[in-house]
């Protein structure tokens, strides 16, 4: 009798492991695509930034993203009625947090930091996001940090640093914290908090609903700041390619990537999701080489391998048999 029970349990665990592995593989592919889209935002931004001020650019991006996400939400909920979300007043504070802290807060701190620090400093500090996210998840979600996950995060972080410095670590010797760096640290913290908060407080809300209402709050909050930039004065002179860039950033880096991020946070947690962000520099220099004609340095091929290895090791930390049994009980 006991032998039969063990066999039945063993078979159930095996099926559960296979189902979880397939589900995670889908999440990994989607997050790689999300990182690719986020990297495209840097390229698209080069076509829009010269003509549109920062707040107006962010506002325009999220206006389009909010409208598009509204249609996506309606389509997905019509396709899966059981996942339809009806707005609750009790959820308002949740969306205020994700919209103001995760969207407005991050973008304001990020763009503001660039006024006072270098792109290298900003990029290096930004690469610490997976570390900060893992620490916040440990503190507030009580999520353990397996050795493989720590190793993966550190390895990918090292790869990002090598990518940014082009393999010249002597650049780090000149690294000095200034006001812009401290502001960038705030950007990293609020972005990490957005992921951890989404996991802990928005568990009963679908990813598409979280994304849509976060975009909506972000758009509404930015309105008074946009008016200060007097968009009616510069919009007539904005070329068509800048508008195309805004639409691209709204659809792909915003709608697709943020939605996939929310899906991944629910499936594999904020810490393992955050490490995919370190793939962005890889796609950025590939796109810059293909589109902007920048030179691809051999050292970046090695650093790309380090980042990819780090991401893979980090994801392997969540595929243990023990973790699958816990998630499936």
Q: What is the pLDDT along the chain (329 residues), one digit of tens a residue?
A: 555 544 554 554 454 445 556 678 899 999 999 999 988 887 788 888 889 988 999 999 999 999 999 999 999 999 988 888 988 899 999 999 999 999 999 888 887 887 787 666 777 788 888 889 988 998 888 877 788 888 988 888 888 888 777 777 776 666 667 788 888 889 999 999 999 999 998 988 999 999 999 999 999 999 999 999 999 999 999 999 999 999 999 999 999 999 999 999 999 889 889 989 888 888 877 887 787 676 777 777 888 888 888 888 888 766 544 333 334 43
Note whether 165 and 128 are within 8 A (CB): no
Checking 18-26 for CB contacts under 8 A at 24+ apart, the result is 20/319, 20/324, 20/327, 20/328, 21/319, 23/267, 24/267, 24/268, 24/315, 24/318, 24/319
Q: Which residue has the tokens 């309105």?
A: 223
Question: CA 61, CA 255: separation in Å to the nearest integer?
Answer: 10
Sequence ranges of the domains in the chain:
32-328
Nearest to 293 by CA among 43, 86, 2: 43
As to burial, measured by CB atoms within 10 angstroms (0-12 exposed, 13-18 middle, 19+ buried), residue 18 is: exposed
pTM, two decimal places: 0.82
């Amino acid at each position: 009798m006991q032998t039969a029970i063990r066999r039945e349990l063993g078979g159930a665990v095996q099926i559960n492991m296979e189902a979880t592995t397939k589900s995670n593989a889908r999440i990994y592919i989607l997050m790689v695509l999300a990182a690719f889209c986020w990297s495209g935002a840097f390229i698209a931004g080069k076509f829009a930034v010269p003509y549109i001020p920062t707040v107006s650019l962010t506002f325009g991006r999220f206006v389009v993203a909010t409208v598009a996400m509204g249609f996506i939400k309606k389509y997905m909920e019509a396709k899966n009625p059981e996942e339809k979300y009806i707005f609750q007043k009790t959820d308002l504070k949740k969306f205020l947090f994700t919209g103001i802290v995760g969207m407005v807060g991050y973008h304001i701190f990020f763009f503001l930091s660039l006024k006072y620090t270098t792109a290298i400093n900003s990029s290096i500090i930004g690469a610490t996001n997976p570390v900060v996210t893992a620490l916040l998840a440990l503190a507030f979600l009580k999520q353990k940090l397996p050795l493989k996950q720590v190793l993966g995060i550190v390895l990918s972080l090292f790869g990002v640093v090598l990518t940014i410095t082009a393999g010249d670590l002597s650049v780090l010797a000149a690294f000095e914290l200034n006001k812009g760096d401290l502001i960038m640290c705030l950007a990293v913290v609020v972005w990490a908090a957005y992921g951890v908060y989404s996991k802990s407080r928005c568990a009963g809300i679908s990813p598409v609903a979280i994304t849509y209402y976060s975009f909506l709050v972000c758009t509404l909050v930015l309105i008074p700041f946009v008016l200060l930039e007097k968009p009616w004065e510069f919009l007539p002179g904005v070329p068509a390619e800048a508008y195309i860039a805004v639409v691209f950033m709204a659809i792909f880096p915003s709608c697709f990537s943020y939605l996939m991020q929310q899906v991944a946070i629910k499936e594999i947690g904020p810490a393992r999701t955050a490490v995919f962000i370190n793939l962005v520099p890889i796609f950025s220099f590939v796109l810059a080489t293909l589109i902007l004609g920048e030179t691809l340095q051999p050292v970046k091929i090695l650093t790309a391998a380090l980042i990819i290895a780090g991401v893979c090791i980090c994801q392997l930390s969540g595929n243990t048999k023990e973790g699958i049994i816990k998630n499936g009980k």
